[in-house]
Chains A and B, each alone.
Chain A
């Protein structure tokens, strides 16, 4: 499977990372190197093998469904690049 510029651009878009058009050929070439490396997994016989979901066999603990924390608006907003009137502020989302 070889990745062309168009696919590289699509992946960058899906990952929400801006890549200038001029950088796409190099990016596609890097993808192809890495994918060429992971392609060898195709040679492994995985017939009937379950995909791993958790590395340690354990029952995940469940917590009580109760409120344990809250009222931390100032702390939550303290690192925001733009916070106004108790909210995170972002550019206009809907025209």
Chain B
């Protein structure tokens, strides 16, 4: 891996401003790495021409002394973000050939800040999946392998391409989105940092919608400082998204003092699931000890409705998806099925959607249709929304009792083998989200921090959950945890 392409954003920013390196150098280094990393299948649409042009402009800004922190930083962009004139197909066949006429707010903010787009990154189709195996582009592959094994592992999902690209040094950082854990789980599987902000912190405008009340964009980076720097550039009110919060965006990097003395960390007892692997349990205990060692008080808390979070999520998310994905009908954009003589508009819809959507997306759209259908709306959808209220209340009670942040494992295991879940029923895959999905249901910020390796040499992550709008405090706790954990392992290059 190139020394330039594996830099942190913070180090690159300082080197760019000092004139020790140019945006063009960084960009060329990343483009070379991408070219040599086909085996990872992380970058699905490279945009070298755009990258070179943006890098030249960034270098001009740097020379003029007008350089925000992200100026000249080469990024990968999840395929879920609409990028003007560049294929943006949410890893779905139904959006094959779609080139948006507009730019998502989050990516527009990044380009305004001078960042450089290297390309679009692999993901699960419409962000529905936990292993990047539902993608129309094929599986993205984790740069990490277990010691002594050459079995291909999942980078997690849905932001699997983003996670693989950052971990393998193809870009300095990447955008992700998180509806039930899609930033934090892949970050944990690849030994990087992934932050899901408070719902409403980043605009959703121009991001292909999965479940609108849960979706949130966030940074996937090498460390906590980079997450703070990149979130700063992504966040802020947008008149085009009425759910984006009109409130000031604090200086997240300035909050990273590492001083968490006297703060209170909650350990939710309900997250100690039956059958939790001893390695995950130990990682969690070690993490609590690290935060205690940094001066925080660690207390047991109760989040009594935790066990109902996954079933509530698998009602609410498919329900919203069935509504959001109704727009893919073969009329205005994307794929349209070839019709037989005599086929009318209903056949066009049905054939287009059967051809364009993959199996998992079809499954979720149909489950969503079912739970919203006459006679079942109250029993499933309304009940799930009531349970969601209870889950949020659990967190509110914990924070009201003085807890500043909550520590949990990020995932129930390390990265698993690609194909390992192929014969399992869909619910087995859903269990990957067991520690992360509560955070989306409650709209809270959550971050996954790499904290150790398992006995096979694969990275494991811990999750910290913060108070609404307190990304600054959350990042500072994550920074303290990162310093104590001292995770520096990198995957051996095999690709």
Contacts and interface: CB of A to CB of B under 8 A. Distances in A.
A1 to B, nearest CB: 8
Interface in B371-417: 371, 373, 379-380, 382-390, 392
A2 interface: no
Given A15-B366, A41-B308, A81 B200 contact: no
Interface string A51-88: 11111101011010000000010011011111000001
A33 to B, nearest CB: 5
Interface stretch (B154-162, B223-231, B336-344): B336-344
Please report whether the interface of chain B is mostly helix, strand, loop or mixed according to DSSP: helix
Contact of A38 (B199, B315, B333, B362): B315
B315 A18 contact: no
A91 to B, nearest CB: 5
B185 to A, nearest CB: 19
B367 A88 contact: no
A61 B305 contact: no
B213 A54 contact: yes
B198 A40 contact: no
Contact of A17 (B353, B383, B390): B353
Contact of A56 (B239, B353, B384, B468): B468
A22 interface: no
Given A46-B387, A79-B99, 5 more contacts: A16-B346, A37-B427, A56-B199, A60-B243, A93-B345
Interface of B: 97-101, 198-200, 213, 239, 242-243, 245-246, 305, 308, 310-312, 314-315, 322, 326, 329-336, 339, 343-351, 353-354, 357, 362-363, 365-367, 369-371, 373, 379-380, 382-390, 392, 425-427, 430, 441-443, 468
15 contacts: A15-B369, A16-B353, A18-B351, A39-B311, A40-B311, A41-B308, A44-B308, A44-B390, A49-B390, A54-B213, A55-B443, A56-B200, A61-B239, A80-B331, A92-B345
Interface of A: 3, 11-19, 27, 30-31, 33-35, 37-42, 44, 46, 49-56, 58, 60-61, 63, 72, 75-76, 78-82, 88, 90-93
